Amino acid sequence: MSIIRKGKRKIAKKKVMMICIVCFIVGIIVFIGGVVFYNKTIAKTPDEKELPITYGVIVLENLAKGEILKPEQLVSIQLTDAEHRLNTVQLEDAIGGRLRYPVESNTILFPEMIDTGVLVADDLRKHVYHFIEITDALSSGDYVDIRIQFPNGADYIVLSKKRVLACSLYDEVEQTDNSLWIEVSEEEILTLASAVVDAYFNEQAEIYAIQYISQDQEKAIVTYPENDIVHSLIQEDPNVVERAITHMENRVRERVAMEIKEYSDKSRQNTNTEYNNQQSAKEDTVKLENTDYIDNNYVD
């Protein structure tokens, strides 16, 4: 019996030893795995902390396409999004740039959204003109050429690829005037003044805006020739420019008013014609019904 008991004890000891060895090995594996995982986790944290602080730019108000960015319209913010870190615009680069697209307030600016390095000329000014004829298809942010057309059919480009800041059509009911806001340099102001005096002395001449299809189109070449006679007139009598502007503004109003009247007369005529046709059709129907009644009730 003692021999059997001794054998069982040895077997039990071996099992305990095996279990201990397995547990030890598993413990080592778990420990090593934990250490590796911990090291990897710790390794990421310093990298993230060592990333340089990156700043981006957001706009503080709604801006139209083509707007030149000003310091008071922008603010620099710290970026946390990794994607934004790789595609940022610096405040100093954004200022003076021209927007390619309209943007809303609190929008982050990206390089593809602006044309950077666009310098604003010192003599560039915002100016409104009431004698330039425009269409209802024109809106803020569009680009136009300002052209002059003479009675003999000659047509010249006076100003090339000007961005529309704002515009409105003449409307007596809405009490809006024909207006076109654009940015012009001193040279362009003088050129347009020459053109309006030129048109003033040519009664059927027109100064009008023609729209570009895309802002990416090449700028047209100015073809309006300087008129020496007009230039001399302006030098002799600077007030001739104001008289010409007033005259051209009245001419535009008269032309628009005439077009509105013609449209109203045509619409009224079409309405009357349609009404007469309807009345005629009704009379024909009544006659036909009366004829049918007489035929059905005729006694020979």
3 has pLDDT over 70 = no
At 261-278, the pLDDT tens digits run 665 666 656 666 665 666
Whether pLDDT at 92 is above 90: no
Q: Which of 284, 286, 287 is nearest to 276 (CA)?
A: 284
* Closest alpha carbon to 101 in 70, 74, 65: 65
pLDDT at position 209 is 96
In angstroms, the CA 37 to CA 45 distance is: 13
Task: Tell me the pairing of strands 179-184 and 125-129.
Answer: antiparallel
Which pLDDT belongs to residue 146?
97
Instruction: Look up the pTM and report it.
Output: 0.58
Closest CA relative to residue 162, chosen from 278, 66, 282, 239? 66
Residue keyed to tokens 């030098």: 235
Q: What average pLDDT does range 168-185 have in this prediction?
A: 84
According to the model, what pLDDT value does residue 46 have?
47
Query: What mean pLDDT value characterizes the chain?
Result: 78
pLDDT-based confidence at 150, cuts 50/70/90?
A: very high
The two tokens of residue 85 are: 């870190």
Structure token pair of residue 153 = 């059919």
pLDDT above 70 for 153: yes
> CA-based angle 279:284:288, to the nearest 5?
150
**d(C-alpha 171, C-alpha 283), whole Å:** 41
Each residue's pLDDT tens digit, 214-248: 877 899 999 998 778 888 888 888 899 999 999 98
User: In whole angstroms, what is the distance from residue 120 CA to residue 103 CA?
Assistant: 20
